[in-house]
Chains A and B, each alone.
Chain A
Amino acid sequence: MDPITSQSIYLISMAMVLMLAIFVGFEVISKVPAKLHTPLMSGSNAISGITIVGAIMASGSAENSLISIILGTSAVIFATINVVGGYVVTDRMLGMFEKKTDGGRK
């Protein structure tokens, strides 16, 4: 049998995390009502901007060639637009829905 490497352990635990996250995702999101599907899209989109973490690591790592800087910095810019824009626009939309709760009851 092959020796157990730290990488294979890491791979297995990541695959386990992925599997569980998929199930949680389906469970939670299938309960979101149709009227909130647009905020769901923009909000989940903002979450997918978590790649900003990878972008930051790429941008600020010790390897400091021009290519790394260009790749990392542009990745940081794109990811930040995604994150900030996504959350702000979702908040704006949900604010409109919220306002309606009060208005509707009067």
Chain B
Amino acid sequence: MNMYLLTNLVYIVAAALFIFGLKMLTSPDTARKGNLISAIGMLLAVVVTLLSKGIIDYKWIAAGIIVGSIIGALSARLVAMTQMPQMVAIFNGLGGITSLLVGWAAYHVMVASDLFTTTTIFLAVLIGGVTFSGSMVAWGKLATYINGRPMLFSGQTLLNGVLFVGTLVAGTFLFINPSTGYAVFIGIVIMSLVLGILLTIPIGGADMPVVVSLLNSYSGIAGCAAGFAIQNNVLIVAGALVGASGIILTNVMCKAMNRSITNVLFGGFGASAIKGASEIEGEVKPITPEDSYYLLEAAGSVVVVPGYGMAVAQAQHTLSELGNLLEENGSEVRYAIHPVAGRMPGHMNVLLAEANVPYNKLIEMDDINRTIAGVDVCIVIGANDVVNPAARESKDSPIYGMPIINVDQAKTVIVLKRSMASGFAGIDNNLFYKENTRMLFSDAKSGVEAIASEFKKS
């Protein structure tokens, strides 16, 4: 059989397996099998590519695959679940750099330049480069190697514009004069890398879920462009699937913050620490772990609202233990998950799943808000902006209009917090001053531990 035909038929099967695998991700019961099916599709595509005619030298491929597999498998095994956002950011970046390199290699062997090939190579390099350096900055911010605060300087937008136009001009030059264009090509690579950095540094820590989703989308689109550059359908299909996934997630995240994507990308939200402490009334009422225990002991229903602070303190296991103690005590325990809680979509769900919390106890924001008035005690652990009533009440608040979990409508709220410092958005939280709020000043983990030990004592 014609090898070209066979290879491409297998690519079609691989693409079908990718789609089928993603479809099985729609339910937690089939998701794991779906991931396996998707992996089989990938294996098929790789094997058939290795067997295809164009490949004559295997030693470098073998070396690359062995080195990559070891690094990939080890890091995937060893990474802590709290580090997942960083991991995803790095993987996004790797997708970007691969597209860049594939585009580069295609440019290197390009014999004649036509508009089509030059454009696709240009796009693969540009998007790949932006994805790579942008992801690296996102990774640095998530791992706190770089300050999470938005970094803005005057003329930033202008510089971005100049760089973008610069790449376009260079791309055009590349098309007109491909043979002498290597310096121009390198210029495009460098400009795209710088552009990726500049586009990501103005975005603050709390907006990272949007950025990670968007970069995920970029890595797909870059793969798509690489597919056009080397005329390979399976890259186009896979790239489009990933691109769509990233865009959907970006959209979900933006909606959950009531902000437009342009506002997230160019707003520098939180850069100018907003001091709008206008109509905060009441006083902060601290509570001891012991009194928290009395409150919880008498509570019929308890809702836990976790946030990034829980991830930082690695408090998910202790929290799950407290949940079990509460259930043994006869309380109904649920976990309310805000879509942008944490540093990437679904972050809290993964951490709680790791701590053996059954996923049917994880409730989405809208569902919990319908029943929140009947809840006896809400425990807010490491969350801040996603429970700030200012989003509902004060029109001049920067987060006004953002959907929040209405914990303040529960009978009592216990907030675990290290100090009165404001959240990532730099906004004061009225919740802390409400009549029914009690502040347990403690690190998320030791606070939960202290309450749990009160339970064990009795």
Contact = CB atoms under 8 A, between A and B. Distances in A.
B294 interface: no
B54 A29 contact: no
Contact of A78 (B75, B101, B239): B101
A14 B71 CA distance: 34
Contacts of B46: 52-53, 56, 83
B118 interface: no
A48 to B, nearest CB: 4
Contact of A90 (B35, B213, B345): B35
Does more than half of chain B's interface fall in helix, strand or loop, or is it mixed?
A: helix
B350 to A, nearest CB: 5
A79 B132 CA distance: 13
B226 A83 contact: no
B346 A50 contact: no
B404 interface: no
Contact of B91 (A36, A42, A65): A42
Interface in B23-47: 23, 25-29, 31-32, 34-36, 38-39, 42, 45-46
B224 interface: yes
A80 B109 CA distance: 23
A58 B212 contact: no
B69 A50 contact: no
Given A40-B245, A85-B71, A96 B26 contact: no
A10 to B, nearest CB: 6
B164 to A, nearest CB: 23
A53 B235 contact: yes
Contact of A76 (B32, B39, B64, B232): B64
A1 B32 CA distance: 53
A39 B55 CA distance: 34
B94 A43 contact: no
Given A25-B243, A56-B61, A80-B65, A61 B49 contact: no
Contact of A36 (B28, B99, B224): B28
Contacts, number: 378
Given A21-B240, A80-B65, A51 B245 contact: no
B175 interface: no
Interface in A16-42: 17-18, 21-22, 24-26, 28-42
B245 A56 contact: no
A45 to B, nearest CB: 5
Contacts of B81: 93, 96
Interface stretch (B274-282, B302-310, B359-367, B422-430): B359-367
A100 B72 contact: no
Contact of A97 (B52, B79, B353): B353
B77 A88 contact: yes
B97 interface: yes
Given A56-B50, A86-B91, A49 B98 contact: yes
A37 B339 CA distance: 10
A17 B99 CA distance: 19
A12 to B, nearest CB: 11
A44 to B, nearest CB: 4
B76 A104 contact: no
B245 A25 contact: yes
B361 A104 contact: yes
A87 B35 contact: yes
Contacts of B216: 41, 44-45, 48
B68 A84 contact: yes
Given A43-B38, A48-B220, A38 B359 contact: no
Contact of B337 (A35, A55, A92): A35
A70 B26 CA distance: 40
B21 interface: yes
Contacts of A80: 64-65, 67-69, 72
Contact of A37 (B11, B230, B346): B346
B175 to A, nearest CB: 16
B238 A35 contact: no
B448 to A, nearest CB: 20
Of B58, B61, B232, most buried by chain A (CB within 10 Å of CB) is B61
11 contacts: A22-B244, A25-B244, A37-B346, A41-B346, A47-B242, A49-B95, A52-B42, A58-B106, A68-B108, A78-B98, A86-B76
A-B CB proximity, top 4 nearest? A80-B68, A104-B358, A25-B244, A76-B64
